[in-house]
């Protein structure tokens, strides 16, 4: 997949006092990419004022700033703590993207330059622990995508390799992992590759890596000694979902390395969909697939929908059966 190349960069002036901020600024300047100074990455009036139809264009912008809130949040799913890390937003346009519910049309990629401060928070937290804790570093963005620009994922994996009582985990829908393969990670990093049927990736996960590339990335990371999990995420119950997901599971069982199949784990995450997604998709991507099946969904909190309980539990049972049949040694970490 081609590297993300921003067409315009917004930056807070204070990033220039950081080595990485200065280097990125100089690089974009040398490439002739327009650089626009801003006061605050959370308040960019000229982007806020753009109409929603500009969403796809805004996804090609990049914002460089300083992350202010560094507080780790306790978690009890894929990690012990969620870390506000080096980026939020992304260049892709998944039709269900949870970040659209928070940032709406402003869910473009933001990179935060004060990475050492974030890592120091993790180190402080880890130093108080009496047993190993897992830190989720990719919950607000896609670090494999971000790594193409900053090398921050490579850096973070190296930092974690030297930490006691700490491991990191992140999920991705991208596949550019070659930069990560020769790191001495010391088993402290876990990658979760999100997978979906090829047709759904093409129509719904716009701008992400295709299934073949993601499976290739899973195999490469496994051969490089990483712990590799697979996220069926998000599971989207289209009219022909059983057929599509059976083909996906067949593809996984034929293309994933046999030893990985014995050692992997699955997370099953059913789609939630926000009214914010619906608004943005209808206005800015009118020809995109409609994944909001109101007949199958019920309200879940303010402005959000999830699959009705019975539909969810029947589908969850289906996946448990089919996964057990094909991947008898693999554990299902959780279903949500
Ligand atoms: S890859 Fe993740 S962050 Fe990027 S658009 Fe898709 S769901 Fe959102």
Q: What's the CATH code of the domain at 245?
A: 3.80.30.30
Counted domains in the chain: 1
Q: How far is CA 294 from the centre of its chain?
A: 26
In a domain, 68, yes or no: yes
Would the pLDDT of 2 be above 70? no
Residue pair 27/78 in contact (Cβ under 8 Å)? The answer is no
In a domain, 327, yes or no: yes
What pLDDT is stored for residue 96 in this prediction?
A: 98
CB atoms near residue 220 (< 10 Å): 17
**Residue 298, beta-bridge partner list:** 306
In a domain, 274, yes or no: yes
Give residue 284's domain range. 8-335
Report the relative pairing of strands 109-112 and 87-88 from DSSP bridges.
Answer: antiparallel
Supply the mean pLDDT for the chain.
97
Tokens of 303: 């402005």
The pLDDT > 70 percentage for the chain reads 99
Q: Say what the pTM is.
A: 0.96
Q: CB-based burial of residue 240 (10 Å sphere; 0-12 exposed, 13-18 middle, 19+ buried)? A: exposed
Counting ligand 1 atoms within 8 A of each CB, the residue from 138, 142, 210, 284 with the most, and so the one to mutate, is 142
Residues flanking ligand 1, CB < 6 Å: 90, 92-94, 97, 99, 141-142, 173, 208
Average confidence (pLDDT) over 246-275: 98
Q: Cα(237)–Cα(169) distance, rounded to whole angstroms?
A: 27
Q: Helices marked H in 141-228 — which ranges? A: 143-150, 152-161, 198-204, 211-223
pLDDT tens digits for 92-128? 999 999 999 999 999 999 999 999 999 999 999 999 9
> 81 C-alpha to center of ligand 1: Å?
20
| CA-closest residue to ligand 1 atom 6 | 94
Residue 99 CA: nearest ligand 1 atom is 8
What pLDDT band is residue 172 in, cutting at 50, 70 and 90?
very high
In a domain, 2, yes or no: no
Would the pLDDT of 334 be above 70? yes
pLDDT tens digits for 207-254? 999 999 999 999 999 999 999 999 999 999 999 999 999 999 999 999
In a domain, 167, yes or no: yes
In a domain, 1, yes or no: no
In a domain, 114, yes or no: yes
In a domain, 3, yes or no: no
Average confidence (pLDDT) over 16-33: 98
């Amino acid at each position: 997949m081609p590297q993300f190349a921003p067409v315009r960069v917004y930056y807070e002036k204070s990033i220039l006092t950081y080595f990485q901020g200065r280097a990125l600024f100089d690089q974009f300047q040398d490439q002739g990419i327009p650089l626009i100074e801003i006061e605050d990455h959370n308040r960019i009036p000229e982007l806020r004022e753009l109409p929603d139809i500009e969403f796809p264009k805004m996804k090609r912008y990049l914002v460089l700033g300083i992350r202010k809130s560094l507080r780790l949040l306790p978690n009890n799913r894929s990690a012990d703590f969620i870390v506000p890390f080096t980026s939020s937003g992304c260049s892709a346009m998944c039709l269900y993207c949870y970040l659209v519910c928070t940032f709406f049309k402003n869910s473009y990629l933001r990179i935060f330059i004060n990475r050492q401060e974030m890592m120091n928070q993790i180190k402080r937290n880890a130093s108080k622990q009496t047993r190993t804790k897992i830190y989720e570093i990719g919950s607000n963005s896609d670090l494999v995508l971000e790594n193409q620009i900053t090398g921050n994922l490579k850096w973070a994996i190296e930092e974690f390799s030297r930490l006691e009582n700490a491991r990191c985990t992140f999920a991705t829908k991208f596949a550019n992992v070659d930069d990560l393969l020769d790191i001495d990670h010391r088993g402290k990093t876990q990658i979760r590759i999100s997978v979906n049927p090829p047709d759904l990736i093409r129509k719904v996960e716009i701008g992400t890596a295709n299934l073949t590339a993601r499976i290739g990335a899973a195999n490469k990371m496994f051969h490089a000694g990483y712990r590799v999990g697979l996220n069926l995420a998000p599971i989207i119950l289209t009219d022909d979902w059983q057929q599509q997901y059976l083909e996906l599971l067949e593809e996984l069982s034929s293309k994933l390395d046999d030893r990985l199949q014995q050692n992997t784990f699955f997370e099953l995450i059913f789609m939630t969909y926000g009214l914010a997604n619906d608004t943005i998709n209808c206005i800015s991507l009118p020809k995109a697939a409609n994944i909001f099946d109101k007949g199958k969904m019920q309200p879940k909190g303010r402005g959000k929908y999830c699959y009705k309980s019975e539909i969810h539990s029947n589908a969850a049972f289906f996946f448990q059966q089919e996964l057990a049949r094909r991947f008898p040694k693999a554990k299902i970490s959780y279903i949500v």
